[in-house]
């Protein structure tokens, strides 16, 4: 059976050409951490996540440093030395961090979704699909005008994007895994 273009794009990204990707990352390292790109690098993934090639949709490449997060050490006097660690494990996924950074950089835009495009020894790279809610093209689009509502403002910071929900444990399909918030929490919320 004949396959479409997006099928072959998806297959190509399963095993990307390492030499080309490495050369791209050398260029990306020299740029700022949040950079607007003309068109998505992974068109199949962007389209699956809601991207459309029309006014009001903007794509940003975001760079996030790899590794654990450090915190400032507390004062040395009168403390146990084993409690003075300065390395902390981040509870948020790097993809969620990238979405928040893109949202904070461009406050007039809303994060629709994001996806991974690469990693090297020092950084993770993501592309964030962002929408301008003030554009008439978005206001008149039946599928996208939900983002204009006030309850959908600051989606990335409030953990409402797909990557954030996954990181918060809201996309678990297995009954054995903990799903947050629990049913008891929902019952308490209703009282």
pLDDT number for residue 170: 80
Inform me whether the pLDDT recorded for 191 exceeds 60. Answer: no
Rank 11-15, 71-75, 79-83 by mean pLDDT and report only the highest: 11-15
Pairing of strands 57-65, 34-37: antiparallel
Residue ranges per structural domain of the chain: 5-70+84-190
Q: What is the mean pLDDT of residues 80-99?
A: 81
Task: Note the pTM of the prediction, 2 decimals.
Answer: 0.82
Inform me whether the pLDDT recorded for 177 exceeds 90. Answer: no
Query: Residues 60, 127: contact at Cβ < 8 Å?
Result: yes
Give the Cα separation of 84 and 134 in Å (integer).
48
Inform me whether the pLDDT recorded for 74 exceeds 60. Answer: yes
Give the C-alpha distances (Å, rounded to integers) separating 181 from 8, 130, 136, 151, 155: 39, 27, 36, 19, 18
Inform me whether the pLDDT recorded for 179 exceeds 80. Answer: no
Inform me whether the pLDDT recorded for 32 exceeds 60. Answer: yes
Q: What is the pLDDT of residues 44-58, one digit of tens each?
A: 999 999 999 999 999
Give the Cα separation of 117 and 94 in Å (integer).
12
Q: Which CATH architecture group holds 5-70+84-190?
A: 3-Layer(aba) Sandwich (3.40)
pLDDT number for residue 105: 95
Q: What is the pLDDT of residues 129-169, one digit of tens each?
A: 999 999 999 999 999 889 998 888 899 999 999 999 888 87
Inform me whether the pLDDT recorded for 68 exceeds 90. Answer: no
- Mean pLDDT (the chain) is 86
pLDDT number for residue 34: 96
Cβ within 8 Å of residue 138, ≥6 positions away: 56, 131, 132, 144, 145, 147, 148
């Amino acid at each position: 059976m004949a396959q479409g273009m997006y099928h072959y794009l998806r297959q190509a990204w399963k095993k990307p050409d390492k030499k080309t990707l490495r050369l791209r990352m050398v260029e990306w390292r020299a740029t700022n951490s949040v950079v607007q790109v003309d068109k998505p690098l992974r068109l199949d993934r962007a389209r699956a996540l809601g991207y459309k090639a029309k006014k009001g949709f903007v794509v940003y490449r975001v760079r996030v440093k790899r590794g654990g997060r450090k915190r400032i050490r507390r004062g040395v006097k009168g403390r146990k030395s084993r409690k003075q660690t300065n390395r902390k494990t981040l509870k948020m996924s790097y993809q969620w961090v990238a979405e928040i950074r893109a949202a904070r950089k461009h406050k007039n835009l809303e994060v629709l979704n994001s996806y991974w495009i690469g990693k090297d020894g020092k950084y993770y790279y993501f592309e964030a699909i962002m929408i301008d809610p003030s554009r008439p093209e978005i206001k008149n689009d039946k599928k996208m005008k939900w983002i204009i509502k006030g309850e959908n403002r600051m989606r990335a910071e409030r953990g409402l994007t797909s990557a954030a929900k996954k990181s918060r444990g809201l996309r678990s399909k297995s009954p054995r895994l903990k799903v947050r918030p629990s049913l008891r929490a929902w019952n308490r919320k209703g009282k």
